[in-house]
Amino acid sequence: MKALVTGGAGFIGSHITERLLNDGHEVVVLDDFSTGHRHNLPEHDKLSVVEGDIRNMQTVEDCMQGVNWVFHKAAVASVPKTVNDPVGSSAANYQGTLHILEAARQNKVDRVVFASSAALYGDEPTLPKQEDMLPVTLSPYAVDKLASEYACGVYTKLYGLKTVALRYFNVYGPRQDPSSPYSGVISIFADRLSKQQMPTIFGDGEQTRDFVFVTDVVEANMQAVLRDEPVGQYMNIATGHQITLNELLQVFCELYQLECKPEYGEPRQGDIKESYANIERASKLLAWQPEVALHDGLKLLCESL
C-alpha cells in the first residue's frame, strides 16, 4: 500500500512512518518542519519526504496521488499556541483537515485516519471520559479538533470517504520534544532527570492522567486502516488507567536511581484535575488493547535518551 503521513516528521507521525516502512509499505511524509525534524525519519528507499504545508491545497493534492491510506497527524499540536493565534492555527488544524479530506475524496483514497484529542472533553468532571459525553471546548485547539471530527463524519456520510477519528489522551515515548514548557509532562520529566535535575510539579501533584505509549497509538492507527468496523466513528485511544504526577515521578526516580525530591510550583491555569478514558469502543471496533505498561514504556523512553 501507499500511505501519506501528514506531520510524519513529528513525534507520533514518525512512529507511524517507521511502522509502515517496517511492514513493507510505501510512505510519503508531508511536513512543514514547524515542530518536526528530518532526523526523526530514517533514510529508506520507500520513503519520500515533502517539505510543504497542509494549508496549501495544491501541495496536498500533489501528495495524494496514488495514495491508499492517509494518516493525518499534521497540526499545531500546542494548545497555548492556538490560544495565541486562533486564526493562524485554525488554517492548519481545521482548514488543513478539509484540504486532506477533499483531496482524499477526489483521489478515491481508501481510508483517512484523523488525530483527534482528549482536549474535546475539556473540564467535564465525569470519569472515565466516554465518547457519548457532550464536548466541552475550552481552546481554539479543541474547537478545530471537534470541527475536524465533524468534517470527517460528513465526508463519510455524504461522499462515502472512509474516515476514522482517534481521540488520543496523553501520548508519550521516544522523540517527543521536551523543549517547550507546554511539552508533554513525561518528555519534560525524562529530559530533566536524565540530566540529574529534579523537575517541577505544577500544583500538589495529585492530578491524574491516562498516559498511552506511542507504539500502542501506532497499532491503533494500523487497525483503523485494516478493519471496516471503525469507519465513520470516533474513539478514545488511551489505557483506561490513571496515575498521579507524584506517583509518576516516583516511578521515574526509581528508574534513574535518584532520590525523589520534587519541586512544587503554582498550579497551571486551566489544568484539569483528573483524566482517564473508557476504551471499550476502541477495544471493540479496532480489536485493540494497549500492550505497554507505564513502567515498561518509561524504561524504553529512558533507554532511548
Specify the pairing of strand 243-244 against strand 208-209: antiparallel
For ligand UD1, the closer of residues 4 and 294 by Cβ is 294
Q: Which is nearer to ligand UD1, 65 or 197 (CB)?
A: 197
Task: Tell me: does residue 200 bind ligand UD1 (CB under 6 A).
Answer: yes
Residues 148-177 that bind ligand UD1 (CB under 6 A): 170
Residue 36 binding partner per list ligand UD1, ligand NAD, none, with a CB distance cut-off of 5 to 8 Å that depends on partner kind: ligand NAD
Task: Please state, in angstroms and rounded to a whole number, the distance separating the CA atoms of residues 297 and 251.
Answer: 11
> Which listed option, ligand NAD, ligand UD1, none, makes contact with residue 209 (CB within 5 to 8 Å by class)?
ligand UD1
Q: Using an 8 Å Cβ cutoff, are 129 and 118 in contact?
A: yes
Q: Are 43 and 29 in contact (CB under 8 A)?
A: no
Residue 76 as a binder of ligand UD1 (CB under 6 A): the answer is no
Least CB distance from residue 61 to ligand UD1, whole Å?
Answer: 29
Q: Which residue is nearest to ligand UD1 (CB)?
A: 119
CB 271 within 8 A of CB 203: yes
Least distance from C-beta 188 to ligand UD1, angstroms? Answer: 4
Q: Say if residues 28 and 2 touch (Cβ distance below 8 Å).
A: yes
- Residues 6+ away with beta carbon under 8 Å from 296: 213
Size of the site for ligand UD1 (CB under 6 A): 21
From its phi and psi, is residue 301 left (phi > 0), alpha (psi between -120 and 50) or beta? alpha
Minimum distance from CB of 88 to ligand UD1 (Å)? Answer: 17
Q: Of ligand UD1, ligand NAD, none, which one does residue 92 interact with (CB within 5 to 8 Å by kind)?
A: ligand NAD
What does the angle CA 75 – CA 166 – CA 139 come to, to the nearest 5 degrees? 50
Selection from ligand NAD, ligand UD1, none that 96 binds (CB < 5 to 8 A by kind) is ligand NAD
CA terminus-to-terminus distance, the chain: 32
Asked if 119 interacts with ligand UD1 (CB under 6 A), we say: yes
Residue ranges in 205-264 that form contacts with ligand UD1 under rule CB under 6 A: 207, 209, 245
d(C-alpha 227, C-alpha 209), whole Å: 29
User: Smallest gap, in angstroms, from Cβ of residue 189 to ligand UD1?
Assistant: 7
Sorted by sequence, the CB contacts under 8 Å of residue 278 that are 6+ apart come out as 128, 129, 130, 131, 236, 240
**Per rule CB under 6 A, is residue 292 in the interface with ligand UD1?**
no
Instruction: Please give the backbone phi and psi of residue 222, each rounded to the nearest 5 degrees, phi first.
Output: -65, -45
**Which grid cell sits at 159?**
461522499
Task: List interacting residues with ligand NAD (CB under 6 A).
Answer: 7, 9-13, 30-36, 53-55, 73-77, 92, 96, 115, 117, 168, 170-171, 184
Burial annotation 284-301 (CB, 10 A radius, 16+ → b, else e)? ebbebebebebeebbebb
Instruction: Return the DSSP state at 40.
Output: G
Nearer to ligand NAD, 147 or 258 (CB): 147
Residues 10-49 as x/- pattern, contact with ligand UD1 by CB under 6 A: ----------------------------------------
- Percent helix / strand / coil, the chain, rounded to 5: 40, 20, 40
* 178 binds ligand UD1, rule: CB under 6 A: no
- Interaction site with ligand UD1 (CB under 6 A): 79, 117-119, 170, 182-185, 188, 199-202, 207, 209, 245, 268, 271-272, 275
